[in-house]
């Protein structure tokens, strides 16, 4: 709890694992002896501010998650496992319907980002009290090229690098704002690229909160190699 407000984290683990080339949900893959999703849950368990956790999973994974994965560690804050939708946006919408009515602040987080720092979670929650809508991210290191949409990959513009950030998660909002954003975008048929892009449709300014470069999303087999390096070097706790 923060400033007498109830905080709930939504951890989305309902996506496909096609790019991971894995026969199982990529968040069930073990790193450092535990499934990825358990490392992710652990970070929110250890936050001083997060009161409750909701996990979203694919329908076929829910029973296995409940009986074989969650018992592997401390999941005392987990209040439910929600069936995911066909898209991430639908998955979060399902979770918002499940949330207790007295939830004041919501964090949305990718289940495949197990290396988020607890300090980042708590810092973003402090920041949302000031800036209303917050996205954890990092300034890009590479030059970014925007190309025309005619399929020829001709550069249209080179944006100023100092203005570009790579969005990560968690993304943090007041529950009422996030619910209104999802309701509005459903009515208008808007598909966003992340939760903050939906909140932006309400005219709410979204603030970038500086995270860490090791908060990677495990998407491909190469990411697992990088994850092992993080663990072996003791850089991630």
Q: Is 109 in a helix, a strand, or coil? A: strand
Helix (H) or strand (E) holding 57: strand 52-57
Interacting residues of 223 by C-beta distance below 8 A, sequence separation 6+:
216, 217
Q: So what's the pLDDT on residue 76?
A: 98
Q: Which domains are delineated in the chain?
A: 7-232 (3.90.550.10)
Question: What pLDDT does residue 17 have?
Answer: 59
In this prediction, residue 70 carries a pLDDT of 97
Distance CA 42, CA 38 (A): 6
| Residue-by-residue DSSP string for 114-178 | TT--HHHHHHHHHHHHHHSEEEEEEE--S---EE-TTSS--EEE---GGG-EEEEEEEEEEHHHH
Contacts of residue 55, Cβ cutoff 8 Å, sequence gap at least 6: 11, 13, 37, 41, 65, 70, 78, 80, 81, 82, 111
- pLDDT value for 7: 98
Candidates 90, 96, 93, 86; CA nearest to 16 is 86
pLDDT of residue 15: 72
For residue 3, the model assigns a pLDDT of 80
Structure token digits, residue 229: 């390096």
Q: What tens-digit pLDDT sequence spans the chain (237 residues)?
A: 888 999 999 999 987 656 565 667 889 999 999 999 999 999 999 999 999 999 999 999 999 999 999 999 999 999 999 999 999 999 999 999 999 999 999 999 999 999 999 999 999 999 999 999 999 999 999 999 999 988 889 999 999 999 999 999 999 999 999 999 999 999 999 999 899 999 999 999 999 999 999 999 998 889 988 888 888 887 566
Answering whether pTM is above 0.85, one says yes
pLDDT at 228: 87
Nearest to 57 by CA among 8, 10, 114, 7: 10
Please answer whether residues 196 and 218 qualify as being in contact, where contact means their C-beta atoms are separated by less than 8 angstroms: no
Question: How many other CB atoms sit within 10 Å of the CB of residue 30?
Answer: 11
Quick one: pLDDT at residue 1?
A: 81
Chain length of the chain? 237
Q: Residue 175's pLDDT is what?
A: 98
Torsion of CA 69, 26, 53, 114, to 10 degrees: 110
Cα 128 from Cα 109, distance rounded (Å): 15
């Amino acid at each position: 709890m923060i400033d007498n407000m109830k905080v709930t984290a939504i951890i989305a683990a309902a996506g496909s694992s096609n790019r991971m080339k894995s026969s199982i949900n990529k968040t069930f893959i073990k790193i450092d002896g535990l499934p990825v999703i358990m490392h992710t849950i652990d970070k929110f368990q250890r936050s001083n501010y997060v009161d409750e956790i909701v996990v979203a999973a694919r329908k076929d994974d829910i029973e296995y998650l409940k009986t074989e994965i969650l018992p592997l560690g401390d999941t005392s804050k987990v209040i439910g496992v929600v069936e995911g939708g066909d898209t991430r946006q639908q998955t979060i919408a399902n979770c918002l319907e499940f949330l207790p009515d007295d939830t004041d602040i919501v964090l949305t987080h990718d289940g495949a980002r197990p290396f988020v720092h607890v300090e980042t979670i708590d810092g973003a929650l402090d920041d949302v009290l000031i800036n209303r809508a917050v996205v954890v991210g990092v300034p890009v290191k590479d030059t970014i090229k925007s190309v025309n949409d005619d399929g020829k990959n001709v550069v249209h513009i080179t944006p100023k690098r100092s203005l570009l950030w790579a969005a990560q998660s968690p993304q943090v909002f007041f529950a009422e704002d996030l619910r209104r954003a999802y309701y509005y975008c459903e009515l208008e048929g808007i598909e966003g690229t992340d939760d903050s892009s939906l909140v932006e449709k309400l005219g709410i300014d979204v603030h970038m909160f500086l995270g860490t470069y090791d908060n990677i999303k495990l998407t491909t087999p190469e990411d697992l190699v990088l994850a092992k390096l993080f663990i072996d070097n003791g850089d991630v706790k």
